[in-house]
Chains A and B, each alone.
Chain A
Amino acid sequence: MSEYILRAENLSVSYGDFRAVTNASLKVKEGSITALIGANGAGKSTLLSAIMGEHKPTEGHVFFEDREVTGLKPSVIVRNGIAMAPEGSCIFDEMTVRENLLMGCYQKRAAAKKNELFEKVYSLFPILKEKEKQLSSFLSGGQRQMLAIARAIMADPKMIICDELSLGLAPVVIGEIYEKLTEINKEGVTFLIVDQDVGRSLEYSDYSYVMVKGGMVMEGPSCDLPIEEVKDAYFGINKYA
């Protein structure tokens, strides 16, 4: 079996005539934290949507644990072991915190380990236990993001994809969330994170990809990537204009 848990090869995704992702490839090593960096509109979320089966790619392939999963329904992808904490948290506002977490373990495999998973997420995010009976619409931005990650953990996944991890959050909360993420990663869960916080993405990840205008322009071990050039790519200036 390959050392890469997820491989996206030459993916292209279009919305009608508009091509949002062009020939993008990405590999995520098992047990790692991989970051996907890019400005708004770079195509990061579209790429993730194609990996999760929300959009059918016009070209290219996605492999999870060496099995092709291109174009499969999200419900099948989740069953295979990928969970997603989507952009803007995407939580169920009309449900309580506990009900949201229960939705995380909707798949039968995870449902069988429900109690164990609840213990795990409550030890990681004690605030969620305190607020378990509250409607999730009353949570703060940081708590919603924690709930989204906790809900992904409840799926007992092999890999978690986090889209726009720090969007709209206070710096202190972002730091806390990244610490939790590292803690979960140490237990063997692979992460693919998308964030606009370039500094933190590079600091906490093992490997990074930089996306500009729908294509990959840079990749490498996060500690080796030249931060100034990554920022140029992120802001679309100098040679990336």
Chain B
Amino acid sequence: MELLIQSIVTGILLGGLYAIVGLGLSLVFGIMGLTNIAHGNLMIMCSFIVMVFGTVFNGNIILMLVLAIACMVVFGFLFQNFLVNKVIDKGPNPALLVTFGVSIVIQNALQLIFGADARSIKSAFATVNVVSSDYVSISGAYLANFVVAVVVIVLLSLFIKRTRMGRAIRASANNVRAAELMGVNTKLMYSVTMCIAMATACIAGLLVGNTFVFYPYSGPQYLIIAFGVVVIGGMGSIPGTLLGGIILGLAQLLGSYFFGTGYQIFSGYIVMLILLTVCPAGLLSNAKRK
């Protein structure tokens, strides 16, 4: 019984991490209709950048995150403005190939610079248990992941829903022509969206690096998790990523509890397939394009 409770709690908390891993992918798909194949590698690149800043600034986690976000926002703007925006009007395939190419470049560049060894980001709360009872123990890193994911998702939802720029981003997603005729520079909105996605990837990179070890070639593993999250939650739905993350996390941990640890990943994707059969667009899908 204790183990079941522990599995449920850990599954939910792990879902928070999964949610933030999938958030940038979902946002970019929802606004631009672009499947960013580079998302996983970009997130791992963020983990490396945070790690480097951590070494330079002696582990000041806020400072290293802020600097990493600043770097990645600039990178995201350049990536979107000078690569993706050039081909995005030509249909989904050219842009998809661009992100695929960038993904390969990032993975190889990371291996060239940092080597193939496992890395991690150290923080004060990474190994501390914040709750430790007979029934359940909660690690500081897992709790932080969940809290940060919820805060980021709520703030991003409010930004998209309530602000002038958020409305312009939604308008660009809903009807490009009408948005342009309202005076919205839709390409600029795409760049802003990519910058936001990069900022969330940075936060995800920090949390992943603080929870697990990572390698230059860990990106595709997280890309698959991100796909699982957005497919379950609904492509383009920001709250859907939290729901998708929690469902995927719970499915993995409960699968592991009932069938053994070898079935953890398998159970997650079985649940994903069942949900896809029942609800093909995802649970909270809102992606409609013109």
- Residues of A at the B interface (CB closer than 8 Å) are 52, 54, 73-75, 78-79, 83-84, 86, 90-95, 99, 102-104, 106-107, 111, 151, 155
Contact = CB atoms under 8 A, between A and B. Distances in A.
Given A95-B171, A103-B171, A90 B183 contact: no
Given A91-B175, A94-B170, 8 more contacts: A54-B177, A75-B185, A91-B178, A92-B170, A103-B168, A103-B171, A103-B178, A106-B168
Contact of A94 (B177, B183, B288): B288
B179 interface: yes
Contacts of B184: 75, 103, 106
Helix, strand, loop or mixed for chain B's interface? helix
Contacts of B181: 52, 54, 74, 78, 83-84, 86, 90
B183 A95 contact: no
A151 B164 contact: no
Contacts of A90: 175, 177-178, 181
B177 A86 contact: yes
Given A79-B183, A86-B181, A102 B167 contact: yes
A113 B288 CA distance: 31
A106 B185 CA distance: 11
A103 B185 contact: no
A92 B178 contact: yes
B2 interface: no
B174 A92 contact: yes
Nearest to A85: B181
A134 B22 CA distance: 30
Interface in B168-207: 168, 170-171, 174-175, 177-185
Given A86-B177, A106-B168, A93 B288 contact: yes
B70 to A, nearest CB: 26
- Please give me the 7 A-B residue pairs with the lowest Cβ-Cβ distance, nearest first: A78-B183, A90-B178, A74-B180, A75-B183, A92-B174, A94-B174, A107-B183
Nearest to B177: A90
A92 B183 contact: no
A92 B175 contact: yes
A78 B178 CA distance: 12
A94 B161 CA distance: 11
Nearest to B185: A75
Given A92-B171, A95-B174, A102-B167, A74 B183 contact: yes
A73 B179 CA distance: 12
8 contacts: A75-B180, A75-B185, A78-B183, A86-B178, A90-B178, A91-B175, A104-B182, A155-B182
B286 interface: yes
Nearest to A161: B181
Contacts of A155: 182-183
Nearest to A52: B181
Contacts of B177: 54, 86, 90
A79 B185 CA distance: 11
Contacts of B164: 102, 106, 111
- Interface centre among A73, A74, A104, A155, by most B CB within 10 Å? A74
Contact of B180 (A54, A99, A102): A54
A241 B5 CA distance: 81
A149 to B, nearest CB: 13
A86 B170 CA distance: 19
A174 to B, nearest CB: 22
A113 to B, nearest CB: 15
Nearest to A76: B183
Contacts of A73: 180, 185
B182 A106 contact: yes
A224 B269 CA distance: 72
A165 B175 CA distance: 19
Contacts of A78: 181-183
Interface string B7-47: 00000000000000000000000000000000000000000
